[in-house]
Structure 1
Amino acid sequence: MAIGMNDLKTGLTIEYSNSIWRVIEFQHVKPGKGAAFVRSKLKNLRTGAVNEVTFRPGDKFEQAEITTRPMSYLYAENGGRVFMDTETFEQINIPDDHLKEALKYMLEGMEVKITMYGSEVLGAELPSSVQLKVVETQPGIKGATATGSGKPAVVETGATITVPDFVNEGETIIVNTEDGSYKGRA
């Protein structure tokens, strides 16, 4: 279905410039002189790049049909991850480069939403926060509070998170998957 610049809205996925893009934000501009246009920020769902694009009246593009499938992460294999569709029990191997940032917070058995364009995997959507065990950090300081500058800690997935000084090895923490920040103890 062809859509024009007036049909843009946040969250819409479109086919533009030989790729799949999600509209992050947009602004209709009507200058005092001349035709109206739309300034937009688009995120490339294949590469993760964010571009600013200006659309003029008459610009047409197709809406991309994106599907999201609930899947369970099973295990790592040959430079990829094996997932099982929780509805059909079909297993698929997704290359690590398609999962990008999600790899930092994924544990075996975790439920994730896999975003697909036809049969092409675009990425994984994790829960907003996950519980991860701290496997390496400096010893905690007695009497430390959460307002300090923090220290680096390596969690069981291999990601490095900045945690408060009172967090010790072996503790389970809650991590925000959007920005990788410490949310609290589990």
Structure 2
Amino acid sequence: MKISGVDIRPGNIIEYERGIWKVAKIQHTQPGKGGAYMQVEMKNLVDGRKTNVRFRSADTVERVRLDTQDFQYLYAEDDQLVFMDKDTFEQIMLDADMLGDAVAFLTDGMDVTLELYDEKPISVQLPEQVEATIVEADAVVKGQTASSSYKPAVLENGVRVMVPPHIESGTRIVVDVYAREYVKKAD
């Protein structure tokens, strides 16, 4: 589906210069002289390159629809991750760098969503939030209040997050996978 350059929004997947790109940020600019344009920061979903492009209202780009399919993570083998199609039980191997920093939150048996373009996987989406156990938390500094300060803690997967002072080692918490932030104490 063709869209105007000024109708591009963050999260859109577009085809640009024979590549598939995900829009990260946009900035609409109206200079005093000349026409308005959209400054677009985007990342190539195949090779990970980033670029900034100016699109004018007269420019059109092809908006791409990706197919999604549910998979289950099985195990890691060297720098490859093995996933199983939940419908056909077919297994595929993908590079671990396709997940970026989110790979630390991947656990055996986790349900994930693969985004496919021309039946080829181009990205893996983990659940937005996961539960994790804190293995190390700094002591509370006397005088700190729960509402105004956070302290560093280390999760079982080695990821460091900031948590409220009342959270101690051994506590299960809910963490935002992509922001790497404490959400709440697990039930």
Structure 1 unaligned blocks of 5 or more: none
Partner residue of 2:101?
101
How does 1:9-48 map onto structure 2 within 5 Å? 9-26=9-26, 34-46=34-46
The question of whether the paired residues in 1 share the 8 Å contact of 2:102 and 2:178 is answered with no
Q: CA deviation at 1:90?
A: 1.3
Q: Per-residue displacement from partner, 1:73-121 (whole Å, max 9, x unpaired)?
A: 1111121221111122211111111111221222111111122223443
Q: In structure 2, give the amino acid aligned to 1:101.
A: D
CA distance in 2, matches of 1:114, 1:43: 17
The question of whether the paired residues in 2 share the 8 Å contact of 1:107 and 1:157 is answered with no
Q: In structure 1, give the amino acid aligned to 2:76.
A: A
The question of whether the paired residues in 1 share the 8 Å contact of 2:15 and 2:63 is answered with yes
Q: CA deviation at 1:158?
A: 2.2
Residue 130 and residue 52 in structure 1: after superposition, are their counterparts in 2 closer, same or farther (change >3 A)? same
Structure 2 unaligned blocks of 5 or more: none
* 1:77 to 2:82 alignment: no
Q: CA deviation at 1:67?
A: 2.0
The question of whether the paired residues in 2 share the 8 Å contact of 1:98 and 1:121 is answered with no
More deviation, 12-21/144-153: 144-153
* 1:128 to 2:150 alignment: no
Percent identity among equivalent residues?
38
More deviation, 105-114/158-167: 158-167
How does 1:60-71 map onto structure 2 within 5 Å? 60-71=60-71
Q: In structure 2, give the amino acid aligned to 1:151.
A: K
The question of whether the paired residues in 1 share the 8 Å contact of 2:14 and 2:22 is answered with yes
Q: Per-residue displacement from partner, 1:8-63 (whole Å, max 9, x unpaired)?
A: 34433112134321234546666676445333332333455654321235544443
CA distance in 2, matches of 1:121, 1:21: 14
Q: Per-residue displacement from partner, 1:134-186 (whole Å, max 9, x unpaired)?
A: 12334567997533533322212221112223222222111012311111211
Residue 140 and residue 123 in structure 1: after superposition, are their counterparts in 2 closer, same or farther (change >3 A)? farther
TM-score between both structures, scaled by the size of structure 1: 0.79
CA distance in 1, matches of 2:86, 2:140: 40
**For this pair of structures, how many residues does the alignment match?**
186
Give the secondary structure class of the aligned counterpart of 1:84: strand
Over the residues paired in the alignment, what is the CA RMSD in angstroms?
A: 3.1
CA distance in 1, matches of 2:118, 2:42: 20
More deviation, 21-30/139-148: 139-148
Q: In structure 2, give the amino acid aligned to 1:87.
A: D
TM-score between both structures, scaled by the size of structure 2: 0.78
